[in-house]
Structure 1
Amino acid sequence: MGLFEDFSRFLETRLEEFLRNNPHLELQALEEQLREQEEEALRLMADLRLKEKQAQDNILATAQEIQRWHERIGKAKTAGRWDLVKPAEEREAALLREGNQRWGQMQVLKERMKQTEELQRKIQARRQEVRAKAVEAEAARASANANASAKTEPSWQTIGWNQSNTYLHNSADPLEAQFKRWEMDEELDQLKRNMGR
């Protein structure tokens, strides 16, 4: 077990180090975590809505049952069936207690729903903040990469003009490969953004 724990700790340390060195990835991981929390909040809200609907249906059924027993009490009194009046009043009182309990449960559900909606809004706002920071970090990283490559590479205006065009027909064109990698990275980033919505 110690070897597994050591290896696990090593991986966590390496992951933390990697994320520190690549803050844009840390922001993406945080955004993904917030997205999952938001989805969980939405699932909880749907579950609470269903429970609230069931509670309302139960309250309505109990109210109808109370009304039925109230009418029976009246009929029993009118007919002089005193042997039925007392048990019917006890049944009505039990249904009233049950109705009050169900009403209380529904109020608790409504309060939980309100809290969950507020939590979902906060998570959504935080996720948007993280997404904006991730976009800023990505832009800063792209700008830094562009500045670094501009300093290390000679001007594009003279390179193409002074070189022969043998690479134009060569399938191992390094510029073509570089553009394909860049375009694939762009498509991958776009897919990630689309999946994050």
Structure 2
Amino acid sequence: MSIFDDVNQFLETRLEEFLRDHPHLELQALEEQLREQEADTLRLIRNLEAEEKRAQDAILALSAEIKLWHGRIDTARAAGRRDLMQAALDKEASLLREGNQRWGQMQGTQQRLARAQELLAQVRQRRQEVHRKAEQVRSKQQAQQQQARAQTASSWESSDWQPRAQVGRTPASAFDPLEAEFQRLETDSELDDLKRNLGKR
């Protein structure tokens, strides 16, 4: 399977299905996979561009050689050398066939390059879509976490449990046995202090 088929299958089936069925799962992993596909496609584009350049250089070199042999045909004809003229014609025909093959190869490379560039645009677009979706999911999760924290704080405030800092500020109507014990202890301690002070007088 070629890279085109592999990436197209990934883009058209796996990504769509995954986002539809599991929009909240592993979006970062998907984004990373698309980033790798983008890097692979960029490498392919660079290779195809180099191949296209080599084909163009080869065609230019063949063109110069064909021109040379075409001139030699005229030279052999003018000299009356039919044997050399025929050999030059054969050589020119061979170079023209090679030139046609090279031209066809270059056109094939250019078509593959155009497809790779289209593919790169698709991969980048899908990666941006996944990135936006990941940001939406992150924002939604943060909002849900903040809401949960706010609800937890609200439930603590509205519950009957009171933090330590509020002990001693209990309404008179509420009976706290521990509070009563400490009040008795503190009262007894104050009375003992008063008795000692009075005894000294």
TM-score normalized by structure 2?
A: 0.65
Q: Hey, what does 1:62 align to over in structure 2?
A: 62
Looking at structure 1, the residues matched to 153 and 104 of structure 2 have their Cα atoms a distance apart, in angstroms, of 72
Q: Which amino acid aligns with 2:139?
A: A
Query: How many residue pairs align between the two structures?
Result: 137
Does the C-alpha gap of structure 1 residues 123 and 21 become closer, same or farther in structure 2, counting only changes over 3 Å? Answer: closer
Looking at structure 2, the residues matched to 114 and 125 of structure 1 have their Cα atoms a distance apart, in angstroms, of 17
Looking at structure 2, the residues matched to 129 and 46 of structure 1 have their Cα atoms a distance apart, in angstroms, of 25
Does the C-alpha gap of structure 1 residues 23 and 65 become closer, same or farther in structure 2, counting only changes over 3 Å? Answer: same
Q: Hey, what does 1:92 align to over in structure 2?
A: 92
Counterparts of 1:10-49 in structure 2 under 5 Å?
23-24=24-25, 26-49=26-49
Q: Which amino acid aligns with 1:138?
A: R
Cα deviation for residue 23 of structure 1 reads 2.5
The runs of at least 4 aligned residues of structure 1 exceeding 3 Å deviation read none
Q: Hey, what does 2:149 align to over in structure 1?
A: 149
Cα deviation for residue 154 of structure 1 reads 4.7
Helix, strand or coil for the counterpart of 2:127?
A: helix
Looking at structure 1, the residues matched to 45 and 22 of structure 2 have their Cα atoms a distance apart, in angstroms, of 38
Cα deviation for residue 21 of structure 1 reads 9.0
Does the C-alpha gap of structure 1 residues 21 and 150 become closer, same or farther in structure 2, counting only changes over 3 Å? Answer: farther
Does the C-alpha gap of structure 1 residues 81 and 22 become closer, same or farther in structure 2, counting only changes over 3 Å? Answer: closer
Structure 1 unaligned blocks of 5 or more: 1-19, 156-161, 164-197
Q: Which amino acid aligns with 2:100?
A: N
Cα deviation for residue 142 of structure 1 reads 0.3
Structure 2 unaligned blocks of 5 or more: 1-20, 156-164, 167-201
Looking at structure 1, the residues matched to 81 and 145 of structure 2 have their Cα atoms a distance apart, in angstroms, of 94
RMSD value, Cα: 1.9
Q: Hey, what does 1:114 align to over in structure 2?
A: 114
Cα-to-partner distance string for 1:68-118 (whole Å, 9 max, x where unaligned): 000001001011111201111000000000000000000000000000000
Q: Hey, what does 1:102 align to over in structure 2?
A: 102
Looking at structure 2, the residues matched to 97 and 22 of structure 1 have their Cα atoms a distance apart, in angstroms, of 56
Cα deviation for residue 22 of structure 1 reads 9.3
Looking at structure 1, the residues matched to 66 and 22 of structure 2 have their Cα atoms a distance apart, in angstroms, of 68
Cα deviation for residue 30 of structure 1 reads 0.4
Looking at structure 2, the residues matched to 117 and 124 of structure 1 have their Cα atoms a distance apart, in angstroms, of 11
Looking at structure 2, the residues matched to 149 and 114 of structure 1 have their Cα atoms a distance apart, in angstroms, of 53
Q: Hey, what does 1:80 align to over in structure 2?
A: 80
In percent, how many aligned pairs have the same letter? 50
Cα deviation for residue 33 of structure 1 reads 0.3
Cα-to-partner distance string for 1:109-140 (whole Å, 9 max, x where unaligned): 00000000001000100010000000000000
Larger helix fraction of residues: 1
Looking at structure 1, the residues matched to 83 and 30 of structure 2 have their Cα atoms a distance apart, in angstroms, of 70
TM-score normalized by structure 1?
A: 0.66
